[in-house]
Structure 1
Amino acid sequence: MKHFFLLSLFISGISCNLLAQKQPFKPVSFPDTYNQLLDVIYTQVNGWDGRMDLYFNTKSATPTPIVINIHGGGWNHGEKESQSGFGSFFKNGYAVANVEYRLVAVAPAPAAIEDVRCALIYLYNNANALNIDTNKIVIMGGSSGGHLALMAGLLGNDKPFDTNCTYDGDIKVAAIIDKYGVSNLLPLTAWKSAKNWLGINHTNKKFIESVSPLYHVSKTSPPTFIVHGNEDPIVPYSQSEDLYKKLKDFNITTEFLTIPGGKHGKFSSEENALLSKRMWLFLKALDL
């Protein structure tokens, strides 16, 4: 009986831990004038469903801008439901597309890039129903999500990764918001997350360049806002320095906000307030 009681306690402890791990994320708060569509399937690949959550205003007299948000997690973990801080975008009349993508356990590179491109194409193909302005698409992400936002935006009308989705017209985002994202995977191939995501191609220089945003910067690249802490222990600060320099070399409208002493995100409330202020000044200057 004693052993059974102890075993019951052990099992109960496991159950409590599992329940604690599965606590739901805080739902997104959105204005009364908005519609919400959760888990919209934007692509299907080999039995995997790519899903996004959409918050959009069909009552607006004119099509609205939209931000595509991409979560981080080293290409190996993370979920769209962890993202909920869209209040400033709603306040400024934006629709929101909160996107998930294939993690490395499902498929290695370039799968995640293909997915975010499909998410972008889905919005183009459904712009009328969502009442969004495809000339005012902003794409945003942090860490590996920043890398994917950069890739989706910098590719523009170049479509080598648009293998699962099609759009006959031109594709161009209005701006990119890159939060401490990876811009060049070549010097990071020993980093476990990057090596795993690159998979069998982790020594293939040409392939690595093809999935690195730095090598897609051109004179037609979208305006890009960059933020990075200069003491980031995960994504080197130099990744953003190099990206900023190349954007400037091509005369692309760009701003680089350094958070002094900043780590990998997790900025203070004051630093986040500064980030929001500078980001909105950047977007407003672009009429976005």
Structure 2
Amino acid sequence: MKAIFILCGLLCLNFKGYSQEIELKKVQYPNGFTEQLNVVYTKVGDWEGKLDLYLPDMSKAPSPVVINVHGGGWNKGTKESQTGFSRFFKNGYAVANIEYRLTGVATAPAAIEDTRCALIYIINNAKKLNIDPNKIVIMGGSAGGHLALMAGLLENNPVFDTNCKSATPVKVAAIIDKYGITDVWDWAYGPIKTSKSATSWLGAKAKDDAFTKSVSPLYQVKKTSPPTFIVHGDADPTVPYQQSIALKEQFDKMGVKSELVIVKDGLHGKFPKEDNSMVDTKIMAFLKSLGL
């Protein structure tokens, strides 16, 4: 009995420590901002897609907005894990922080469909939210970077808009891609990295090359594609930085404005503080160069 009590104590201690480690922080925003949490932007069966909105003073001119998409290999992650929006708030941006269906709920292309729905929700409700529909930025890291790219690069292509429709053009002013997956087939089967997250997300279509290309940003770049900022660490052990280089080459080939920042010795979303500050500064400079 004594041994059981000791074991329980160790488990409880470890669990307590784990809980503290993953404790989620509340998004801090400036005075004058308001929040709308868990707004339902789409429904698919019993699943509700929700987003959190942080809006500047509604009495002022319509604001630009950044739509943020969390990462996690399409199989984990939450919108509540995302809190670093201070630079956007300081520059007058509204923020829409979204969730989407993970692999355990639905495989590809569900996460793309949901991200497109969130984008369309913002466009359709721009007037009510006092958002400038011509100043929409979509941003994400890792799988979130992939989804941000797909949502923006598809433009008016409704191929994954089955659950949501828009009477107005679907467009974004800019994309911010942080170490995102640009070629899903390469991430699943490539010479540098093979990812079970990729094959799990592709599900029954894991060997369908044509489908995999249709859900890969690398193959969606066109002359009309939105300006895109890309950042990647050259020591990334999860998503090879060569994927971002290939994407940059496609933008250059099509004559689309883009910027690629390679962080020396940068890991997967783990950059030194000074590099994070440098990247944030470059992102804001890129957006300002676009009049955003």
C-alpha separation in 2, matches of 1:154 and 1:219: 10
Deviation, structure 1 residue 9: 4.0
Q: What residue in structure 1 maps to residue 138 of structure 2?
A: 139
Could you tell me which amino acid in structure 1 is paired with residue 250 of structure 2?
Answer: K
Alignment partner of 2:256 out of 252, 256, 260: 252
Q: In the alignment, does 2:234 pair up with 1:230?
A: yes
- C-alpha contact 1:58 1:130 (8 A) present in aligned 2: no
Q: What residue in structure 2 maps to residue 65 of structure 1?
A: 64
Instruction: List aligned pairs for 1:26-45, cutoff 5 A.
Output: 26-45=25-44
Alignment partner of 2:273 out of 269, 275, 278: 269
Q: What residue in structure 1 maps to residue 125 of structure 2?
A: 126
Instruction: List aligned pairs for 1:1-288, cutoff 5 A.
Output: 3=1, 5-23=2-20, 24-190=23-189, 191-288=195-292
TM-score after normalising by structure 2: 0.94
- C-alpha contact 1:57 1:130 (8 A) present in aligned 2: no
C-alpha separation in 2, matches of 1:266 and 1:252: 28
C-alpha separation in 1, matches of 2:92 and 2:55: 9
Deviation, structure 1 residue 265: 1.4
C-alpha separation in 1, matches of 2:130 and 2:17: 39
Per-residue Cα deviation, 1:37-85 (whole angstroms, up to 9, x for no partner): 1111111112111111110024342100000011111111111111101
C-alpha separation in 1, matches of 2:92 and 2:208: 43
Per-residue Cα deviation, 1:199-243 (whole angstroms, up to 9, x for no partner): 110110110001000111001100000001111111011100110
C-alpha separation in 2, matches of 1:137 and 1:151: 15
SS for the counterpart of 1:7 is helix
SS for the counterpart of 2:84 is coil
Q: Which stretches in structure 1 are left out of the alignment for 5+ residues?
A: none
C-alpha separation in 1, matches of 2:3 and 2:129: 56
Per-residue Cα deviation, 1:92-117 (whole angstroms, up to 9, x for no partner): 00000011111101111000000100
Structure 1 window deviating more from structure 2 (5-14 vs 275-284): it is: 5-14
Aligned-residue identity in percent = 53
CA 1:118/1:228 → structure 2, altered by over 3 Å: closer, same or farther? same
Structure 1 window deviating more from structure 2 (185-194 vs 220-229): it is: 185-194
- C-alpha contact 1:27 1:84 (8 A) present in aligned 2: yes
Deviation, structure 1 residue 17: 4.0
Could you tell me which amino acid in structure 1 is paired with residue 226 of structure 2?
Answer: P
C-alpha separation in 2, matches of 1:197 and 1:153: 20
Could you tell me which amino acid in structure 1 is paired with residue 197 of structure 2?
Answer: S
